[in-house]
Structure 1
Amino acid sequence: MEREEAANLIPISRKPTGWGTRHTVAVMSFWGFAMSYAMRFNLSMAIVAMVNRTAELPLNNTNLSLSLRNFQASCANLENDNGWTEAYSMDSYEDADTEPNGEFDWDEAEQGLILGSFFYGYVVTQLPGGVIAGKFGGKWPLGLGLLLTAIFAILTPIAARTNTALLVTARIIQGLGEGVTTPAMHALLAVWAPPEERGQMASIAYAGTSFGTAATMVISGYLIKENVMGGWPSVFYVIGAATIVWFGLWCVLVYDSPAKHPRIKADELLHIQSAIGSQVSQTKLKTPWGKIFRSLPLWAILIAHTGHTWGLYTLLTELPTYMKLVLDFDIKQNSWMSALPYLVMWIAAIVLVKIADLCVAKNYLETLNVRKLMQIIAHLGAGIALIGASYSGCDRVATVALLTTAVGLNGASFAGFGVNHVDISPNHASVLMGITNTVSNMCGFVAPYVAGLLINRHPTLERWQIVFFIAAGVYLLDTVFYLMYASAEEQSWNRETVVESEPKSPFVIEEGPGASPPQLNDDANADAEAGE
């Protein structure tokens, strides 16, 4: 009753105080993305323990031992030179070599293929996920996508021990499940986030990506080091089970829109609806594909998004291997050092986005200038740090600090291109995210594969320097393009081409605490058959 009355009240600008349902949506989204990225990148940490490094290179054992030991010695015994503390210093290569060897004989090229296989599936469901979420809401696409990913995460150890092809297939299916999550999140943000809170809500939700990445690195390192449930397989069991628990809470606590939420207070509903106003149409709209693809502001977002994923995915998939083979951290030290950049990114995202929202709310800067400033911090800053890391050599303190800076500064992008889709077209935000995420996440399988080819059989500082230079160059180019063509203005095609009749969802979606999973909608199917 309160929600019906709210729709008829005169809009007011007063913001409700205290915890609201939109905050619950943001927090549950945070944990959803934490689970998403934990499952996406747990293999990056587990693979360090899965691979038999002795059999990795096709050389005789004597030559391999000598060459690898000589290489490792170039980064050894540095404690006195750089002040590295005892807890994270390298004892010696011989001591590090006592860690148990893995059971899989994959070289770097094969590892790059396996690590990137997730993204073959991930890019396929981006655009369909955006269309579905735009028409029927983001709750169920996001929730069911992560549930599917969790099931196949639990099956990953069985797949790996069967054969490589089955492991790649399992990872592709996980990618298919997660492909709908980001477009679905943008569909939720478009209806749940008032413009002045848009950056903050987006940063809370998407900060789960860096938190989940950091958490899975640390948790994985502990599980492997302590040989819990057989070591590396437990990485997949624990995270998969946690995601299933999250899905149960998501079904009960999150709804597609404020108007559908049975427990939202009238003042919060009124605040959201009056703040969003006419930006989001209450009538279903056709997607103006031609105008979207001719839009330079969209291309600016797409290029920035592509550069973002190239740089981050290069580090996300390869950083644990770099920490092991170049800086020679053991698995537990590796987990903490690999996690540190993403913990910093999580904190940076929250702080920088809060500053960005404050600048917009107080009219210190126009929205477009805030978006551009955040991109400069995120990508130019990261590029400079990566160049520095490429020259830091065996100085562990400097290398870890620079890599942490490079990843951490990327948190600013959540208030840059990351929320720019909603600025230019709230009605089609999920579709726009589907487009940019599809293209950009091709880097998910290209970047680690390129890194694998460059480093294969020669994990030297010089080879890694090339990898870092490429990522820095990509960051520079995407920033220049974004500064030239980005916009924060609602585009003219945002509200065009109204559909005469609203399409029915192919699913019956129940709402409320006892909600059941979506079921086929016989009425919608009958309408579809009648129209054929």
Structure 2
Amino acid sequence: MVRKNDSTFTLAPYNESNFNSITNRPNQGMVISAVFTLLSKWASAGDRSIMVSIVFSGKALGGVIASYTSGLICSSYKIGGWPMSFYIYSMFGAVLAIPWITFVSESPAEQDEFTCISNTPNKNKSRAIPLYDIFTSKPGWAIAVAKFSTTFANNFFLIEVPTFLSNMFGVNVNKIGLLTSLPSFIAAVTGLLSAAVADYIIQQKYLSILKTRHLFVVLGVVLSVVGFIPLVVNDCNVLAVEILSIVFFAVYGFNSASVFPNAMDIADEYAGFVAGATHTFASCTGIIIPIVTELVIKEQNSLERWMVLFFLTGGVNLLGMVYFIMFSEAEQQVWSEQKNNKDERSGLIIK
């Protein structure tokens, strides 16, 4: 965004691909833990998927709005150019925090909905966080690995696909509204629909919670990997990349019914911490992907090298799915249910 010219610094022209590679990096990590802590108290076992989907659909829809407004703000030098986008979005964050603080309650016990959520446990007593048990938990690592693999693919499309289109086809990414906006909107819609279906399956007891999580993670990963076929079987073109992006983000919404709610399935008491820790692990992909891309295409920026990256992304997705199926669970872990009689003054304990 800033170019150095001798001893002076000047503003570089706005480029949406560069802007998105910065603004779409994982951020506001504390929100993840806070949201899952609240959801663990508000959502019953049969409503977790749809609750998670409703909450995080705002992230996808926010991306749709930002992809359009960012271009308008950054190209309008009368109001200050691209720096104003950061100021404006930060201001909206502060404004939206006001209704959050005003209306959000910590638990259903503070609202009339308390009688409607029958399985909400009494969580008035504070407990120390069993760090050793969490970080050595196979189901916990299953969530972390699955989040890592799906986030790897998600960030690859957000960060590198615009560069791919620009380098290989000379496409002006600023004008591809379909590629930058429609996939995020579709992800929000499919997330809501798949979550509603998953909760219906669980409530009607057609499948267990664990098998439902497995079903949707398989559907999401397999369909996204199948979406890579047009790129490697046929001649790669802009339309194929657009279709692939739409397909991938559509099935990415299936995570709302599979990986994302699983933190509450295994650790209702510590869902916020587990979700935050696994999200942190997955966020590392924002650092890894540019490095891997640079290593692969450094010597030869060709279509064949980019295909290697697409294959790698699909492979990471498949490995994450297999690991999740092998080690995930959907029952409360012993370390989440048991009373902790240790010293709780610090709120953390390693045992």
TM-score range, shorter chain: 0.7 to 0.9
Q: Is the contact between residue 285 and residue 495 of structure 1 (CA under 8 Å) also seen in structure 2?
A: no
Instruction: For 1:408, give the aligned amino acid.
Output: A
Which residue in the other structure is 1:212 paired with? 62
Which runs of structure 2 are paired with 1:344-493 in the superposition (5 Å)?
A: 344-391=186-233, 393-456=235-298, 459-493=301-335
Letter in 2 for 1:430: G
**Larger Rg belongs to:** 1
- Do the aligned partners of 1:311 and 1:472 also contact (CA within 8 Å) in 2? yes
Distance 1:390 1:357 in 2: 36
After superposition, give the CA deviation of every residue in 1:44-97 in whole Å (9 maximum; x if it has no partner): xxx6xx789xx9xxxxxxxxxxxxxxxxxxxxxxxxxxxxxxxxxxxxxxxxxx
Q: Which residue of 2 aligns with 1:275?
A: 119
Cα distance in 2, alignment partners of residues 230 and 248 from structure 1: 27
Return the alpha-carbon distance in structure 2 between the equivalents of residues 478 and 319 of structure 1. Answer: 21
CA distance in 2, matches of 1:195, 1:259: 17
Equivalent position SS for 2:46: helix
- Mapped to 2, the partners of 1:450 and 1:225 lie a distance apart of 31
Unaligned runs of 5+ in 1: 1-46, 56-100, 123-174, 506-532
Measured against aligned partners, the alpha-carbon deviations of 1:220-242 in whole angstroms (never above 9, x if no partner) come to: 23334565624433332332222
- Assess, with a 3 A threshold, how the Cα gap between structure 1 residues 386 and 214 changes in structure 2: closer, same or farther: farther
Contact in 2 for aligned 1:389/1:403 (Cα 8 Å): no
Q: Distance in 2 between matches of 1:208 and 1:105?
A: 26
Tell me the residue number matched to 1:242: 92
Within 2, Cα distance between the matches of 1:105 and 1:206? 28
Higher relative contact order (CA 8 A, sep 6+): 2
Alignment of structure 1 residues 110-189 onto 2, 5 Å: 115=21, 175=27, 178-189=28-39
- C-alpha distance 323-217 of structure 1, shift in aligned 2 (>3 A): farther
Judging changes above 3 Å, is the alpha-carbon distance between structure 1 residues 228 and 243 closer, same or farther for their aligned structure 2 residues? farther
Further displaced range: 420-429 or 293-302:
293-302
Using the alignment, how far apart are the partners of 2:168 and 2:74 within structure 1?
20
Q: 1:409 to 1:256 in 2, by over 3 A?
A: same
**Which of 132, 139, 155 is the equivalent residue of 1:297?**
139
Q: 1:105 to 1:340 in 2, by over 3 A?
A: closer
> Distance in 2 between the 1:476 and 1:239 partners?
35
The answer (yes or no) to whether the contact 1:116–1:444 under 8 Å persists in 2 is: no
TM-score, normalised via structure 1 length: 0.58
Deviations 1:282-327 (A, max 9, x none): 3222222233233221121111011011111111222333343334
> 1:348–1:408: 8 Å Cα contact kept in structure 2?
yes
In structure 1, distance between residues paired with 2:60 and 2:132: 34
Any conservation in 1 of the 2:14–2:75 contact (CA below 8 Å)? no
Provide structure 2 residue ranges, at least 5 long, that are not aligned to the other structure: none
Aligned to 1:310: 152
SS of the equivalent of 1:246 reads helix
Aligned counterpart, 1:200: 50
Pair 476,379 (structure 1): closer, same or farther in 2 beyond 3 Å? same
SS at 1:194 equivalent:
coil
> Hey, what's the Cα distance between the residues in 2 that align with 1:457 and 1:243?
42
- SS of corresponding position for 2:12: coil
Partners of 1:485 and 1:228 in 2: CA distance: 55
- Higher alpha-carbon deviation: 493-502 or 372-381: 493-502
- Judged with a 3 Å threshold, the aligned counterparts in structure 2 of structure 1 residues 326 and 288 are, in CA distance, closer, same or farther, namely same
Query: In percent, how many aligned pairs have the same letter?
Result: 25
8 Å Cα contact 2:130/2:335 also seen in 1 = yes
Q: Which amino acid aligns with 2:211?
A: N
- Find the residue that maps to 2:280 and give its secondary structure: helix
Alpha carbons of 1:401 and 1:334: their partners in 2 closer, same or farther (altered >3 Å)? same
Q: Deviations over 1:138-185 (max 9, x none)?
A: xxxxxxxxxxxxxxxxxxxxxxxxxxxxxxxxxxxxx4xx12111111
